[in-house]
Structures are given as C-alpha cells and as structure tokens.
Structure 1
Amino acid sequence: MWRWLFIIGVIFFGWRHCSTAEINYAAPHQVIDNAPQQSEVSGLQPIPLQAYAIQPVAEFKLKARVLSREDYWLGREADLSPTDLVLGWGEMANPQVVKQINIRQSGRWYFWQVESFPIPRRSIETQSANMHLIPANDEVARTLKQIRPGQLITLQGYLVNVSADDGWRWRSSLSREDTGANACELIYVKQLKLIF
C-alpha cells in the first residue's frame, strides 16, 4: 500500500513540476511599464481574521502579468493565503522575454532558471516577485481561483504583517529590490481584477 502511494506521489510530483504545458499569454503586446506602487500607512488598526491579526504597513497596488501560480492547503500560511502568484511587470511582463525563463514555485518560494539571459539578471529579480495573497472578501477569493498564468491583472490592498497570540509571525517585504528569503510580498487584497 505505502509503495503504491509513494509511486503515485512521485508521478504527480514529476507531472506537476516537469510539465511543459504551453501558457496562453493574453494581450501579448500589452506594455506594463509601471512598477507596483507602494505608500506607507500609519495608525491603521489590525484587521482580525480567524485567529490572526493583520497589520497593514503600506498601501499597495499594481498591474502585472501572472507568470505562475501555486495553491496551498497545509500550514498556517494556507489558512490565510491559499494562493501565491508570481507577477511580472516591465520587461518581465513581455511574453517574448518570459518564454525564455523557466519559472516554478514550491514551498512558498519562486525559482527561475535560464539557459542564457534574455534580459539582465537584475531586471528579472526586480521586475518580478512571488506574492502571497490574502483575500479580503469572497469576491476576491472567487477571482483569485479563476486566475491563470499568462493573464493580466490589477490588484489593490495592503502589504501586511500577520501575528497570532502564540507568537507566530509572517511579515511582508517592503521592497521590490530584495531577493531570497523574506523577499516576498504578503498582501491583504481588497480588489483583484482580471484585465485579459
């Protein structure tokens, strides 16, 4: 029995992470020049959600292309944020660029790999990001379930820090310039729209 479960798990993992399904890029010539916009906020009360306190630290909005998505079901993070999206703007919203970059997600991380750089490395790092999305309402949650790689979206909400009474913490990055651990944005999403 365990052997069969292991084999099925290996097959699923291989299919999930090695699939070469073609992404359908909506509005491939649409230009997204603007980086995400962020403005500091102060004095806002924490937003209670389940057993957590969500503290807004910056207003945040963007227009971007969805480069990848990953859904999560396990862990405290999944209680709040069931989906991560890798989003791209600037050159990283251009399908001709993105098609030359192997992008994947796992364990709340965003990984990319290239055979040769279509744009400078730093442009890849600063014009794309893995974003943990906390839906603020049912409408945002429904829209989030519909979003697929290749589409264009707009998003508005807050970058947030989350805490629980037992000391558990989850913090957002406040920069698009950082990379690696703790570089992901944690967003309380108030509006989410699919453009194309």
Structure 2
Amino acid sequence: MAAANPPGLSLQRLIYALALLAMLWLGWTLSQPAPSPPLRGSDGSDGSDGSLHMDGYRITPLQPFSIEARVLGREDYHFDAGAAVSPTDLALGWGPMADPQVLASISIRQSNRWYHWQVESFPIPRREIEIHSANMHMIPANAAVADALSDIRAGQRIRLSGQLVRVDGEDGFTWSSSLSREDTGNGACELIWIEQLSRLD
C-alpha cells in the first residue's frame, strides 16, 4: 500500500522550489556588470569643450589612451558611488607583468576599487611591478564595447583605446583619472572612456 503524502507537502515543495529559483535569479543578476547609462544626444557631445554626457554625469576627456596588456583580474561593481558610470575594473599588466612566468609568483586580488598584489619573493624588482601594472576603471562608450567588456576574463590579452577622463556628477560627485604610469597608491588608477576593445588571443 502506498503511503499517503502528508497534507500540504506538495505546497511546501513548491514554495521551496520558488524560493530557490528566486535566489538563483538574484545571484545571476548581481554577477552581471551594470549597464552604462546611455549618452544624451546623437554624438554625446555638448559642442563646447568636447565633454560627454551620461545620465546625471559630465565626462571630460583629459588625454588619449591606448594599451595592450594582460588581464590580471576583473571586478564588477553595482552599489558603490562610481558603479553607475564605471561598472567594471580591470587590473592590467604589461611588459614584464604580462609574462605568465612572472605572474606565477604573484598573488593578485581586487576590492573596493583597489588592486592588491603579494609575493613571497620578488620575481622582478618591486618598481617594475608598480609601473607595469595598474587597476583601471572602465567606462564603455557604447553597447558594443559594453558587450565586449562583459566577456573579458583574467588571463586574457587585450587591446583597448579611448580617453582618460574626469567625471563630474550633478550631485557633486567627482572622479578623475591619473595621467601618469609612474604613480602609485590612492589616485593612481586610470579612469578610461573605452572607445575600442578587443582580445588578442
């Protein structure tokens, strides 16, 4: 004789299943980089100083920028003050910091818009690590660049070009790129308006 199901068991299973689906959907949503706000106007320019406008933000180009580098790490942001403008940071390495043999001796992580590295013994001089790697804040210029950025992962070699920029928000928020690869510490990161992005491998 088959045992009867306790009353309400099928409803309980349905509630559990719905709760699990909701948690999976939320986890997937939070793992996706936030889309960049759309530009205003057909060309994004206000016609005066060459600045661009996103919803609530003015983006002022400071100087052209291009690089070929290896991706050392990737971190997506959703809730910090800069997430609406720059949803993704890439830690990049070039020159000796793009060499897999060198990188095998270096532990790398990202958090709170910083890139951290650690070694037990230096595979190259400390200064070489400092001036050949950086955490860079990415601002996709359009949907195609945003799509390309969403596919970028640690270990890949990439080429990107665009502008180092300053961002000013209507609420008083400001964020400006470093213009030097010789600096370290707070304010040393590049803030990049990415116009072109491609993988090299």
- TM-score where L is the length of structure 2: 0.75
Q: 1:54-69 to 2 correspondence within 5 Å? A: 54-69=59-74
Q: Find the counterpart in structure 2 of residue 130 from structure 1.
A: 135
Aligned counterpart for 1:156 among listed residues 143, 156, 161: 161
Q: Find the counterpart in structure 2 of residue 119 from structure 1.
A: 124
Query: What is the deviation of 1:76?
Result: 2.8
Q: Find the counterpart in structure 1 of residue 45 from structure 2.
A: none
3-state SS, counterpart of residue 76 of structure 1: coil
Query: What is the deviation of 1:166?
Result: 2.5
Q: 1:10-159 to 2 correspondence within 5 Å? A: 44-159=49-164
Alpha carbons 1:44, 1:56 under 8 Å: kept: no
Query: What is the deviation of 1:44?
Result: 4.4
Please identify runs of 4+ aligned residues in structure 1 that moved more than 3 A. Answer: none
Query: What is the deviation of 1:91?
Result: 0.2
Matched residues in 2 for 1:193 and 1:44: separation? 29
Matched residues in 2 for 1:184 and 1:164: separation? 19
- Identical columns (%): 58
Q: What are structure 1's unaligned runs of at least 5 residues?
A: 1-42
Query: What is the deviation of 1:99?
Result: 1.0
3-state SS, counterpart of residue 121 of structure 2: coil
3-state SS, counterpart of residue 92 of structure 1: helix
3-state SS, counterpart of residue 82 of structure 2: helix
Is the aligned partner of 1:169 residue 2:167?
A: no
Q: What are structure 2's unaligned runs of at least 5 residues?
A: 1-47
Alpha carbons 1:63, 1:155 under 8 Å: kept: yes
Q: Find the counterpart in structure 2 of residue 191 from structure 1.
A: 196
3-state SS, counterpart of residue 79 of structure 1: coil
Matched residues in 2 for 1:131 and 1:62: separation? 11
Aligned length in residues? 154
3-state SS, counterpart of residue 83 of structure 2: helix
Q: Over the residues paired in the alignment, what is the CA RMSD in angstroms? A: 1.0
Look up the equivalent residue of 2:179 and give its one-letter code. Answer: L
Query: What is the deviation of 1:164?
Result: 1.4
Query: What is the deviation of 1:75?
Result: 2.3
Matched residues in 2 for 1:84 and 1:112: separation? 15
